[in-house]
């Protein structure tokens, strides 16, 4: 069997808020409960498993999603409709822009816990 990523745990102050935020922006089904987690499934069989992590600081993580051009348009529209800050680069030097790396498009924004989210239409280096 080839090794595949199956899931990752996403720490949150409010798992419901964070999981719902991601699912809504990406246009995915509502998160489903499993034990202490709220699960957001993505199309390639990987899930992001959100868990409440108390009131302490959350270690920021980065999650990048490969999407089609029409999906990018829909997600980017939801980002703008919500008035969320977004950037073309991970250093936040190009606000209110998206990038065109490798002939595709990409954009970064933050979730309610400060996790850095990204959508791209082409894999980097592709």
Q: Does residue 78 fall inside a structural domain?
A: yes
pLDDT attached to residue 57: 86
Q: Does residue 51 fall inside a structural domain?
A: yes
Q: Does residue 1 fall inside a structural domain?
A: no
Range of the domain at 37: 7-120
Domain count, the chain: 1
pLDDT attached to residue 55: 76
pLDDT attached to residue 111: 96
pLDDT attached to residue 24: 98
C-alpha pair distances (Å), 21 with each of 5, 16, 28, 74, 126: 22, 8, 10, 15, 29
How much is the mean pLDDT over the chain?
95
What band does 1 get if pLDDT is binned at 50, 70 and 90?
Answer: confident
pTM of the model: 0.93
The three-state secondary structure class of 18 is helix
Q: Does residue 2 fall inside a structural domain?
A: no
Q: Which residue has the tokens 């950037």?
A: 87
Q: Does residue 126 fall inside a structural domain?
A: no
Q: Does residue 125 fall inside a structural domain?
A: no
The three-state secondary structure class of 78 is helix
CATH no. for residue 23? 3.10.180.10
């Amino acid at each position: 069997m080839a090794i595949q990523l199956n899931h990752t745990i996403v720490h949150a102050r409010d798992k419901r808020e964070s999981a719902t935020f991601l699912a809504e922006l990406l246009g995915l089904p509502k998160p489903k409960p499993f034990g202490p987690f709220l699960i957001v499934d993505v199309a390639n069989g990987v899930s992001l498993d959100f868990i409440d992590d108390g009131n302490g600081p959350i270690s920021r993580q980065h999650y990048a999603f490969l999407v089609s051009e029409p999906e990018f348009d829909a997600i980017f529209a939801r980002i703008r409709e919500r008035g969320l800050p977004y950037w073309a680069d991970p250093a936040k030097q190009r606000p209110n822009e998206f990038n065109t790396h490798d002939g595709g498009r990409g954009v970064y924004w933050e979730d309610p816990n400060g996790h850095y989210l990204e959508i791209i239409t082409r894999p980097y280096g592709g």
